[in-house]
Structure 1
C-alpha cells in the first residue's frame, strides 16, 4: 500500500509541476547551469541562448524538435514534449578533463587544491551508482572511510577508525544535513533516518574538525539536497531477499522561488533470519530569494523506520550457517522502531563584505526498541541552531576572511527501560528524564597570501552537560546528585597550503580533537551510570599532496597522518550482551590514504563516450600505547575493529548508444576483533557490477538497469562486534551474492 501511495503522490506532483514551462541546460558532471547554450528549432531555424542560470525561453509551439549545442560539450537532438514542464537537459563535457571540484568544508568555498585539509567530495553522479539502497557503494571507495551495515538499516560510519567506540549508530563523526546539525548533543547520529533520495552531495572531512564543527575525533559529513534544477524523477527497484524500493522527487518553481518534494519507500526481508527492514521518508524543501541580498530555505523531513536485529554470531555459528539469527533474537522480537519529524529553517544574507547564515531546527522522535536483554521506549524533543558570520577584506597584497559563530543544541528525553517478555514490555526496570545541552563558539581566520599561499587558523570552545533525573529504579541503580558536566574543551586547528604550477598543491595541518562520552555511553542499558568515563582528547598531524596530471585527466590525493589520542573510549560486552564502555589510556593512530581519479577516455565521437577509473588505498596502523586490564597489558596491540589495509577500485563506462557499465572491487584485510588480537575477521574481496541502458525516448528520459552484489559470493562480516566478554558473538554476516534490477524515469 505504501508503494501505491507513493506512486499516486508522484503522479499528482508531476501533474502539478507540469503547469510551468521552462527549459534548463546544466553540466552533467556537477549540475551547474550552462550559459550561452545554443537551442535551435529544427523546423524554423530560429535560435535561443541560455542565460547565466542556464534558462532559455521556448517560443515555439510544442512538441518541437531542437538541437542543443555548446562548444566542448556533447550535443543533443531531441523532441521537446507538449508539456508545461520541460526536462532539464544535461550535457557532458568533451574537454577530456576532470571537472574542477569546489568544496564548502570549513566555510572556505574554494577549489579543493587550495584547502589545507583532508576532504573528499562526492558529486550527485557518484552517489547511489549501484542499487541506490544505501551509501555503501559510494562511500566505501573513499580512502580512510568505511560504512558498515550490521543489518539492513543499521549503519555505522568509521572515519579513520572512529567506529571503535560505536557498537551501533554513528559516533565520533559530526553530521550536518542541509546545514541542520543531524548529530545529537551526546554525539550519536542516526544516519538511517535518511534515504538516498534526501542526499545529492556529500563532503567528507577526515580527521578532527572540532575547530568549526564541535566534538568528534573522526571528522565530519556534510550532506546536502540540491534544489537548483527543475526536474521530475521517479524509479523502482527490486532484488534478492525481497528487496523493493520506489521513489519520486519533483523540483519546480522559478529561480527566486523553488519547491521540492521527495518521497521514498524501501523494504527487504533481509539475508539473515530476523533481518527485515522497512523505511518510508517524505521531504519538503523550499528556497525563496527574498531580495538581492537575502535567501530563505525550509526543510521538513518525516521518517518511519523499522528493522529487525538478528544479533551477533560466535565463530561456530558463523561457519555453520551465517544466515541464522542469534538465539533469542526472534523470540524477543529484537528490533528498532522510529518515527521522526525534523524541521529546519535557514536564512542567509549578504551585504558587501559581510555574510551570515543562520539555521534553526527542531526534531521529534519516538523510539521503540525490544532487545534480547531488555525493552526500551523513548520520546525525544530537541532543538537548536547554528549561526555563522563571515567578513572578507583585502590587506595589502593579502586577502583575509574572518569567520565566527555559535551552535547550540538542547534535547529533552523521556526514557523507560523494561524487561522483555517475548517481545513485549514487562516489568519496569528504570525510568529517567534526561536533559542534554551542548554549545560551542568558534572562530576562524583565513589569509590568502601572494604566490598562492593560504593560511588558516581556527579555535572553538565546547561544553556538554547531562541532567539525568532517575524517577524510578527497580534494581537500586540511582542517579548521582547534580548534573554530569564535562570540563569545557578547546579545539584548535591551523593549516597551510601552497599551490604550485602546474596544478600541484602541498598542504599540512595540526588539529586538536576531543570527544566527550555520549549519552548511551554514560547511561548504560542495565541501568548504571558510568560517570567515570573521561572525554577523548588528542592531536592530529597531517601532511598531503594533491594535484592534476595528464592535462587534468588524472587527479591524485595522497595524505599521511599521525594522531595521538588519550583516554580512548572503546566498547565491550558483559555476560548478558549489554554493551558497556571504558577508557583505555592512549592510542597511536597512523595512516596513509591515496585517491586516484583517472579519465582514461572521452572521445568526441564514436561508440565510447567516457571511460573513468578510480582507485583508493588505505593503510591504518592503530595501536594501543598505554592500556592494561585485569593485570594484562595490551601495549603494542592493534586496536580492534580497524582493517590495516583496504584497497578499492571502480570503473565507469558510458557509451553514446545508451549503454553504461559500473563495476567496483574492494579488498579488506584481516580485522582484529579483540584487545588481545587473538580473534580476527578474515580478509575478503567484494565485486559488484551494474549494467544500464538509456532508452531512446523523445518525451522523457528512461534508464533500465540490472546488477549484482558480492559476485564472488564471499562469506564476510560487514560490521563486527568487538570484545564480547562472553559468548564470542563477534560476527554480523553480510548478504551472499544478490541481484537487483530497476528503472529510472526523468521528465
Structure 2
C-alpha cells in the first residue's frame, strides 16, 4: 500500500453564500453559515429550518478525541460510537445514514467549509478535530438538500479563529481500558495572521478484545488579512490511524455470554484497518459593497488498507476479490459563489449564485488474506481497478423579507454525478468488468417564516432530496458476480417540515419540529457477510417524526438541556429479501411487508443534561436513552433499548500563567449492559456491537496565558 504524500498546498477558489439579513432584534445574534459560508450575520432563529449549534469551547470533560462526544444534545441526530475504531462513528440524521456499514452516508459533512464528503456521497468523521473546534452546526430537514448529493442532513465543524491574546492550551486525559488522549492547541494572532493549530494523540486498548487503536491528528487554520475586505484562509488536516483492530460484531448468544469478546475469526485473520489522510484547502473572501465573492479550492490524499475475515474457501471463486481491501486515492475540488445583498421594494433581499466541481480518483486493489496456512497477511492479487467519480453542481438561492412579519427562502441545486471504473485484473475466469454510470437530479426547496412576536417564530418548508450510490455501495454485486453493481439507481426524496421556535430574554429556548421524508428507490443493504456489504434498491420508504429541543437557565449558575426525538422509519412498498447464510443471495424469497420498521433506527431518543457551576467548581449529570431498534429487514431480531447515566465534575485553579482545570467523567454510572450500535443485515447474524460498562476518565487542562 502506498503512503500518501505530505500536505498539498492548493490554490483555489471559495464561496459566498446566501444567508439572510433579518429585522434587528434586541440582542447580539449568532452568525449562521448556510451552505458553508456566511454573507450576512443572521440568527438561526430567523431561518425556516431546524438548525442546532453546539459550542465546543474548552470546558468539555470527556476524552475530547471523537466527534461523537459533542453531539449528544442534538435533536434528530444519532452518533453511535462502535467500540471499534476500525469503523467510523455511526452517524444518522432523522434516520438518513442509519444503514451505513462504513463511514458516513446520507449526511453531508464539512470542515471549515471544505467537504469531508466525497463526490459520491461517502464521508468520514475521522479527521474532525474537537481540540481545534469552536462549534459544530447541524442542519436538518428540506434545506439540507442545498448542499448537494446525499444531504439527508448537514454537519459542519468550524475551527476557532485565533485572536490577539488567546491563550495556548494543553489538554491530557486518561481513563478506563488503557485510553489516553493528549493534545496541544496554539491559537492567537501575530501581525496580519490569525492562527489555530491543534495536534492530538489518542490511543486505547479497547473495551472489547481485539479493539486496540491509535490515532494522531493535526488541524490548522491560518487566516491572512490581505487588504481591507479581503481575507485568505489556509486549512490543513492530517490524520493517521496506523493500526486499528476490528473485533467484528457478535451474535445475541455471544453478547449474553461475554459482551467484551471478539468473534473468533477476528483473531484468526487479525482483522484490522490502516487509514492515512492529508488534505489542504484555500479560501479567499472579497467584500465589495453589496457583493461578496468567495472562492475555494482543496485537495487531499487518503489511503485505506483493511484485513477482513473471509475464509480461503470463499475466495476460491475466481470472481472473488479477496480478503484484503487496499484503497489509495486523491481527491479535490473547486467552488465559486457570488452573493448580493440589497433590497427589493424597500425590503431586505439576498441572492446567491454558485457552482462547484469535485473529483475523486481511487486505485482499488484486493488481495487474498492468507499465504498457505498463514492467515491475516497480504497474499495474491485478486482485484485491480481504477475508479473515478466526479460531480458538477450549479445552485441558486434567494431570501426576501417581504413584510415586517414574513420572510421567504427559496433555492435549487442541480447535481450530476459520474462514476467510471477501469478493470485491470483480467484472467480466464474473470473478464473485463469496466463500466460507467451517471446520476443527476434537480432539488428545489423553499420555506416561509412568520414572526408572531419578538420571541416566537413559526415556519414551514418543503423540498426534494437526492442520494446516489457511493463507490462502497457500487463495489460489490448482490448476486456475487464480478464487477460493480452498476444496476443500482439513485434515491430521491420529498421532504416537509413544520416548526416553531421560541426564546426568552432569560436565555431559555424551545424548538419544536414536525417532519416527513418520503423516499423512492431507497438504497438498502442486500447482504453483509465476511466484511463485504452489497446493496440494492428496495422501493419506497417513509421517515416521519417530532423533534423537541429545550434549553433553560436556572438562576445564574445552573443550566438544563433536553433533546428528544420520536421517529417512525418504515417501508411503504413491500419487497423480497434474503436472510441468513449462504451469502451472496441470488434469489430473495422472504417478504418484507409494508409498514415494517427500517433497521438501525430507534423509535425514540432522549438526551437530558443538568449542569451546575458554583464558583470554580462544575458539576453535571447526563441521561442518554434510546428505544429498541430492529437489526435486519425482516425485523425478527432487535437490539433492546437502554438508558445510561453519566456524571461529571471539574475544578479550576488560577495560576500565574493561566487557569489550570482538573476534570473527571464517569460514563454508564449504573454499569448497564446495552447494545451501542448494530451492523444492519449481517449475513452471519453478528448484528450486535455492545456498548462499554462503567468507565472513568480523568484529565487536566492548562490555558497558558502568554501575556502574563
Q: Give the alignment's TM-score, normalised by structure 1.
A: 0.83
- Structure with the bigger RCO (C-alpha within 8 Å, sep 6+) is 2
Question: Which residue among 308, 326, 333 is the counterpart of 1:377?
Answer: 326
State which drifts further: 119-128 or 528-537: 119-128
Which residue in the other structure is 1:341 paired with? 278
2:13 counterpart residue number = none
Could you say what secondary structure the match of 1:724 adopts? coil
Post-superposition offset of 1:574: 4.8
Partner of 2:53: 121
Partner of 1:650: 609
1:189-208 maps to which residues of 2 (within 5 A)? 189-208=123-142
Aligned counterparts of 1:98 and 1:105: Cα–Cα separation in 2: 21
User: Whole-Å Cα distance in 2 between the matches of residues 494 and 707 of structure 1?
Assistant: 43
Aligned equivalent of 1:507, options 453, 459, 484: 459
Partner of 2:175: 239
Hey, what does 2:413 align to over in structure 1?
460
Instruction: Give 1:444's match in structure 2, choosing from 397, 403, 407.
Output: 397
**In structure 1, distance between residues paired with 2:286 and 2:145:** 23
Q: How far apart, CA to CA, are the structure 1 residues paired with 2:108 and 2:389?
A: 17
SS in 2 for 1:581: strand
Q: Counterparts of 2:461 and 2:643 in 1: how far apart (Å)?
A: 34
Residues 598/662 of structure 1: CA separation in 2 closer, same or farther (3 Å cut): same
Q: Does structure 2 retain, via aligned residues, the 8 Å contact 1:343–1:362? A: yes
Three-state SS of the structure 2 residue aligned to 1:339 is: strand
Change (3 A) 1:477 1:642: farther
2:589 paired with 1:640: no
Shift of the 493–479 alpha-carbon distance from structure 1 to 2, 3 Å rule, reads: farther
Name 2:160's counterpart in structure 1. 226
- Residue 164 in 1 paired to residue 73 in 2? no
| 1:743 aligned residue | 700
Measure the CA separation in 1 of the matches of 2:451 and 2:69: 32
Structure 2: distance between partners of 1:195 and 1:268: 17
| Residue range with higher mean Cα deviation, 581-590 or 494-503 | 494-503
Q: What residue in structure 1 maps to residue 585 of structure 2?
A: none
Once the two structures are TM-superposed, the CA of residue 244 in structure 1 deviates from its matched residue by 0.6
Write the deviation string for residues 90-134 of structure 1: whole angstroms up to 9, x where unpaired: xxxxxxx99754321245641122111111111134984533232
1:480 CA drift (Å): 4.9
Aligned residues: 640
1:28-43 matches, within 5 Å, as none
CA offset digits 1:355-398 (Å, max 9, x no partner): 01111000012211111121011211111122221011212221
**What is the CA distance between 1:158 and its match in structure 2?**
0.5
> 2-side partners of 1:529 and 1:627: how far apart?
26
Q: 1:732 offset after TM fit, Å?
A: 0.8
Distance 1:284 1:627 in 2: 49
- Residues in 1 aligned to 2:187 and 2:545: alpha-carbon distance in whole angstroms: 42
| Secondary structure class of the residue paired with 1:546 | strand
Query: What are the superposed Cα offsets for residues 502-531 of structure 1, whole Å, 9 maximum, x if unpaired?
Result: 310001100111100000101128753111
1:360 is matched with 297
The alpha-carbon deviation at position 284 of structure 1 amounts to 2.8
Contact 1:618 1:646 in 2 (8 A): yes
Matches within 5 A, 1:78-89: none
- Pairwise CA distance, 1:468: 0.4
Q: Is the 8 A contact 1:456 1:495 kept in 2?
A: yes
Does 1:103 find its partner at 2:32? yes
Q: Which has the larger radius of gyration?
A: 1
Structure 1 partner of 2:388: 435
Q: Alignment RMSD, CA only?
A: 1.9
1:309 to 229, 232, 246: 246
- 8 A contact 2:49–2:143 mirrored in 1: no
Deviation for aligned residue 1:439: 1.7
- The answer on 1:660 being equivalent to 2:618 is yes
Q: Is the 8 A contact 1:553 1:600 kept in 2?
A: no
* Equivalent residues in 2 for 1:584-599, closer than 5 Å: 584-599=538-553
2:122 aligned partner? 188
SS in structure 2 of the partner of residue 197 of structure 1: coil
Is 1:386 matched up with 2:369? no
Q: More displaced, 279-288 or 107-116?
A: 107-116
Structure 1 residues 671 and 574: alpha-carbon distance in aligned structure 2, compared to 1, 3 A threshold: closer
Contact 1:673/1:730 (8 A) holds in 2: yes
Residues 492 and 512, structure 1, Cα contact 8 Å, conserved in 2: yes
Task: List per-residue Cα deviations over 1:433-456 (Å, max 9, x = no partner).
Answer: 111111211100111122232101
- CA deviations 1:213-249 (Å, max 9, x no partner) are 1012421111111123322001110000001110001
Q: Could you tell me which residue of structure 2 aligns to residue 619 of structure 1?
A: 566
SS at match of 2:357: strand
Measure the CA separation in 2 of the matches of 1:301 and 1:507.
Answer: 38
The answer to whether structure 1 residue 215 and structure 2 residue 167 are counterparts is no
Give the distance between the partners of 1:98 and 1:660, measured in 2 at CA. 27
C-alpha distance after superposition, 1:178-218 (max 9, x if no partner): 11111111111111122322422111011344543101242
Do the aligned partners of 2:450 and 2:459 also contact (CA within 8 Å) in 1? yes
Q: Equivalent residue for 2:650?
A: 692
1:561-580 equivalences under 5 Å are 561-574=515-528, 576=530, 578-580=532-534
CA gap of 1:482–1:582, structure 2 versus 1, over 3 A, is closer
Say yes or no: does 1:536 pair with 2:491: yes
Q: Does the CA-based 8 Å contact 1:333-1:370 persist in structure 2?
A: yes
The CA deviation string for residues 664-696 of structure 1, in whole angstroms up to 9 with x for no partner, is: 101110111122222110111111111000013
1:709 counterpart (667, 670, 691): 667
Structure 1 residue aligned with 2:18: none
Identify the residue that residue 69 of structure 2 maps to in structure 1.
Answer: 137
Secondary structure at the aligned position of 1:553 is classed as: coil
* TM-aligned CA distance change 1:562 to 1:276, over 3 Å: same
Q: How does 1:667-686 map to 2 (within 5 A)?
A: 667-686=625-644
Which residue pairs with 1:53 in the alignment? none
Q: CA deviation at 1:631?
A: 5.5
Q: 1:299 to 1:575 in 2, by over 3 A?
A: closer
Q: Structure 1's 575 and 235: CA in aligned 2 closer, same or farther, altered over 3 A?
A: closer
Q: Structure 1 stretches of 5 or more lacking a match?
A: 1-96, 603-609
SS class of match (2:136): strand
State yes or no: 1:150 paired with 2:82. yes
